[in-house]
Structure 1
Amino acid sequence: MLQSLAQFIEDGGPFMKVNIVTSIVAVAIIVERMIVLAFRLNLNAGPFMEQIQKLVLSGNVDRAVKLCGAAPKAALSRVIRAGLTRANRGDQEVSRALEEAVLEVSPLVTRRIAALWSLANVATLLGLIGTITGLIGTFKSLGAASPELKQQMLSKGIAEAMNNTAFGLTIAVTCIIAHLLLTSKAKAMVEDVEYNALRLENLLSRRGAGEASVESAVG
């Protein structure tokens, strides 16, 4: 299998090797984004927000902040922590802190995903260039070749052209599929962060209003 792959690359000519670089970059981006979105920035929002809500309603804001510190790299915990650290500074401060934190983590979630679409186009075009150059070189050589070599040269030229086309399209399809999946995951994560940031803002607002009501009743 390795020999067949090596022969496939060798038959593809120089643009095949250029497209190998494109494929390596694409695979690196896909693997890195999968790790980041699935593990580093990901957090199970349901149980996490339930614990945050219980701690906030019981007045343990400091413990809620420490809970966020247990997953310091997760996008949701970073945003929630930003709001909790300003919980005693008024609704406007909390709202501004949450909005700033969402704007800070959103690029971390979507980073480099858009590059996959560009790499798909680059791989397709490189494959097309390799196809055209392979055919041009073949037809130029056929004119000066002896009859017994024409069939061999034609086969080699067609192999170079088709290999470049197939390889370029394979990279492009892989990049497009990965782009769609990663974009969907990133969008869902950002929406989840925004929704739970709003939940926290409303929770702190209700908590503040409740405390104010108690103080008024005592007064």
Structure 2
Amino acid sequence: MNVLDLIRAAGPILWVILALSVYVVYTAAVRAQVLSRLGRDPSALIERARAVTAESGPAAALAEVDRAADPSPAANVLRAGLSRADRGAGAPQAAMNAALLAEDARLYAGLSALGTAAQIAPLLGLLGTVIGMVRSFLVFSSTSSPTPTQLATGISEALVNTAAGLIVAIIAYVARNALRARADRVAVQAERVREELPSWLAPRMAPATVIARPVPEVALSFDGATPPPVTR
């Protein structure tokens, strides 16, 4: 019995597992490509934006970030904070928080689906195993002396489904963990920008120092003469 014969004998559950495997491989490949594009090191852009902010202000730094056209989450969070730098101390932080939530959704998209596939695949394999064993017992009920070929059909269905379900679960689990670790590394850069940008903008948002002018103080006298004002 070759591999094709085993697949034919494995029953309909195996085709469901094979379809799930195609979905797992496709999702993992797409997410790996997306994270590779988003995972470019933004350190040089961050340092350049810091220098431009100190020298020329947030507007010039925003123009520098836009000119770089960096699609990384760190660049998008930086762009959101700089674009609100002229609207008060709390506006950049709120804009960066909102941008970071959107970038997290983009980074971790599809990972929960891979986790679900890793949980479902062994259950599908177990279901195929149960169906195969039931088929083997039905052979005993239909004939008193079943042949090895008749028994092998149900047993092979059980074992092939079990193996296929475990293989798909392992692939999905490993891919999910690897992609999550990579997404975490990219998210750390965006978190760094959110924590550092307020300190860049703080010197420009500091309130101006008000110089108090001396107030003349008038001393009261009850002898009819008005003394000159005393200045403190």
Matched, 1:178 2:186: no
Distance 1:216 1:58, change over 3 A: farther
- Counterpart residue number, 1:30: 28
Q: How does 1:1-219 map to 2 (within 5 A)?
A: 5-39=3-37, 41-59=38-56, 61-69=58-66, 70-71=68-69, 73-145=71-143, 147=145, 150-209=147-206
The count of residues paired between Structure 1 and Structure 2 equals 210
Query: CA contact under 8 A between 2:81 and 2:96: conserved in structure 1?
Result: yes
Q: Larger C-alpha radius of gyration, 1 or 2?
A: 2
Q: Hey, which of these two has a bigger chunk of helix by percent?
A: 1
Q: CA deviation at 1:131?
A: 0.7
AA of the residue aligned to 1:89: R
Aligned mates of 2:139, 2:50 — CA distance in 1: 75
The 10-residue stretch of structure 1 (24-33 or 137-146) with the greater mean CA deviation from structure 2: 137-146
TM-score under structure 1 length normalisation: 0.86
Q: CA deviation at 1:57?
A: 1.4
Aligned mates of 1:84, 1:185 — CA distance in 2: 26
AA of the residue aligned to 1:80: L
Unaligned runs of at least 5 residues, structure 2: 212-232
TM-score under structure 2 length normalisation: 0.81
RMSD value, Cα: 2.3
Q: CA deviation at 1:207?
A: 4.0
Aligned mates of 2:105, 2:164 — CA distance in 1: 31
Aligned mates of 1:6, 1:67 — CA distance in 2: 59
